[in-house]
Structure 1
C-alpha cells in the first residue's frame, strides 16, 4: 500500500477507518449472518472461553468454511476478539460491540431496516441525488409507485415488517411523554396528520374518554388504521387526503394538530405548503405539535449517526427529496407558513424533539 500520507498513528488509524468504510457492505452482511446462523449467540454463551471454528461448526451446523469466514469477519468488524490469531486453531470471543449487535433492539431494528428496505436500492443513491427521485425504490417495489408511502401496502412482507418496526420503534417510546402537552384539558379534538397505522390516535383515545381524533393520511393507510382502531367505535374520523396536493384542505377548527415523524417525509417547499394549510385550518387558539428527530439536537454520536443515515434512505428509497432536518430549518419553514414556535422540548426518548407552535 502507498504511504504518501505518512506513517503517523493518526494516518494509520485514518487509513484503517477508510478501509472499514470501503468494505462496509460486505461486512454488514457477514455480521448479519454471524448473528442469524447462531454463531454470535454461541459465542455469548461461551463467555471468556470463546469458540474455535470447529466448535462453532459443532454447535450451529454451518460448514467449517462458513464458520471460519464469519468469525474472521466478526474479528475484522469488531464483534469478536481473538487472543491467539497466529495459532492453527484461533479461538474467538464476543466483544461488547458484539453483545450490542446480538441483544440491542435499536441495533436490530436499524440493521433489519437497512437490509430489507435500503440495501438493494442503495447502489442507486447517486442517481437519486442527481435526478431528485427515489431511484432505489424499484429494488423493493414492483408497482411503479412514485414514493415508498404509495407502495407500502404492496411491499413484500419482510420489507413491510422491517419498515413498520423501524417507524414504530422510534415513535412509540416518546408518545407517552408528549401526551400531557397535547391533552392539556383532556377533551381536545386532535387532527393526526400522517396518522399511519394509528398508534398515536390509539394512545389518545385509550387515555381520554372525551378526546376526539381526526386521522389524515392516504386512503390505503387509513384502511389499515380503521381496522386497528375498530374498538374505539365512532370516536375517530377518517380524512383521506393526499397532502402533496396543494389544493387539498385539512380538517378545520381542531384544538390541536399533530405531525409526528411526518414532515421529514417532504421537501422544504412541500413542508411550507402543508403547514400553510394547517395554519388556514386552525382556530386562533389552536396548537400545532411537530415531533421530529432533528440531527442538530442529538445528545449522542450514535443517535446523530442514525438520524443522518436515515436522510440517505429518504433520498434513495422513500421519495428523493426529503431528509432529517436541522431544527432551525424547520423553524424557518414554519415561519413562512405563518406559524411560530411557542415551546420546545428536546431529548425525548432516543432522539426526538417536540416543537409546539401557534399562529404567528
Structure 2
C-alpha cells in the first residue's frame, strides 16, 4: 500500500515523521526560545553547541539534546565552526535556518508560538473529548470548574495571560489602523459620535477610536469582569473621560435595549467577536444588537474569513485558532467562512453596505445596516 518505490517516498516519509514527533519538536523549540539558546545561535552563526550552551546558561548536554532535535526539524543547520572556535575543538557549528530566524525575530510567529505553548498546549491533550462533547474540555488544564475561558482571562497564569493578550492584540492591531481609516471616511471628524464596542475587552480599540475621533464617546459592552476593570487600566487614562462601560453576558437573554448607554449609538463595533460563538449564538447576538440600533446606526464587524485568505500561512493560523476555540475557549465556535458569515448577517436582519477585505494580516471589515434602513 505504501508503494515504497514511488517518487519522493523518502521526502514523504520524513514529512510523516515530522508530524509524528511534532510535540517533541515543538517543546524543543520552546526550550530553545525560552532559554535564549535559539537567539544566541541566531546572533552567532557557526557557534558550537558547547559555546551556545554557556551563553544561554544551559548544560552542554541539554543544548546538545535540543539542537540535535532542531536540526532535522529544519530550525537549525550544522556548519563549520565559527572562526577561532575550531582551536582545540572538533565537530561542527550551528546556525539558524530561515524558519529559526522567524521564531527569533518575527513578531507574528512569536505571538502564535507562545500562544500555542502557554495557552493551548496542555489543554490540547483533551481534543478528542472536546470534539465529542462540544465543550472546552481542555480548560481543565487550568481549572476544571471553568465553563468558558473568557470570564477567566485575568485568572490565567502569568505566561498564559501574557501570551493570550499578546496573540489577540497582535492580530487585531494589524487591522485597526486600516479599519479606522475606513470609519474616518464614513463619519466627519467634527461630528460627535457614540461608539458601542461590543466585546471590547481591555478597551484597546475604543482607545484608538477615541484618539482618532476627539469629539467621540465610547461605551464598552462586555462581561462584568472586563467592565469592572476598565477604571483600573492605566493605558486608558488619556481617554477615560470619554469612555464608559456596560456589563452584558451574551450567553444569557440580556438585551442592549435594557442599557440606555448602549442604545441608539452611531456606530456599533465587533472585532474578532462573533467567532467566539456558535452560528446560532452569533445570530442571537446580532439580532439583539440590531434592536438597540436606529435606522441611521451602522454596525462594523471585523473578522478573519477562513476561506478568503491571500496566503496559506494565514489560513493555517485561522484553522489552528478554530481548534483552540473548540478545545479551550468555548467548545462550539470557529472562524467562519465567507458564506457562513454572510448568512448569519442576513438571518439577524442586516444588509451589507460595504466590504473591505485584506486588512492587516487576515481581516475583512463589514459595514452593516439594519435591513429596513434605507
Q: TM-score, normalised by structure 1?
A: 0.93
Matches within 5 A, 1:320-335: 320-335=331-346
Quote how far apart the aligned CAs of 1:35 are.
2.3
Matches within 5 A, 1:307-322: 307-322=318-333
Decide whether aligned partners of structure 1 residues 46 and 249 sit closer, same or farther in structure 2, where only a CA change above 3 A counts.
closer
Quote how far apart the aligned CAs of 1:213 are.
1.0
Distance in 1 between the 2:6 and 2:32 partners?
34
What's the secondary structure of 2:244's corresponding residue?
strand
Are 2:198 and 2:270, in contact at CA under 8 Å, matched by a contact in 1?
yes
Q: What RMSD in Å do the two structures reach over aligned CA positions?
A: 2.0
Q: Which residue of 2 aligns with 1:46?
A: 44
Distance in 2 between the 1:45 and 1:165 partners?
24
Q: Which residue of 1 aligns with 2:135?
A: 133
| Aligned: 1:24 with 2:22 | yes
Quote how far apart the aligned CAs of 1:160 are.
1.0
What's the secondary structure of 2:214's corresponding residue?
coil
1:239 to 227, 238, 246: 246
Q: Which residue of 1 aligns with 2:213?
A: 208
Count of residues in Structure 1 that have an aligned counterpart in Structure 2 = 354
Are 1:39 and 1:56, in contact at CA under 8 Å, matched by a contact in 2?
yes
| Aligned: 1:65 with 2:67 | no
Q: Which residue of 2 aligns with 1:348?
A: 359
Matches within 5 A, 1:238-317: 238-250=245-257, 251-317=262-328
What's the secondary structure of 2:164's corresponding residue?
helix
Quote how far apart the aligned CAs of 1:66 are.
1.1
Distance in 2 between the 1:290 and 1:189 partners?
16
Distance in 1 between the 2:213 and 2:119 partners?
36
Q: Which residue of 2 aligns with 1:75?
A: 71
Q: Which residue of 2 aligns with 1:199?
A: 204
Distance in 2 between the 1:288 and 1:247 partners?
19
Q: Which residue of 1 aligns with 2:147?
A: 146
Distance in 1 between the 2:100 and 2:139 partners?
31
Provide Cα deviations, 1:7-51, integer angstroms capped at 9, x if missing partner: 32333322221211111111101011122223222222322xx13
Q: Which residue of 2 aligns with 1:177?
A: 178
**Where does structure 1 lack aligned partners over 5 or more consecutive residues?**
none
- Comparing 59-68 with 306-315, greater Cα deviation is found at 59-68
Q: TM-score, normalised by structure 2?
A: 0.90
Provide Cα deviations, 1:151-201, integer angstroms capped at 9, x if missing partner: 112221221111111111111121121113334223221110001000111
Distance in 2 between the 1:212 and 1:223 partners?
18
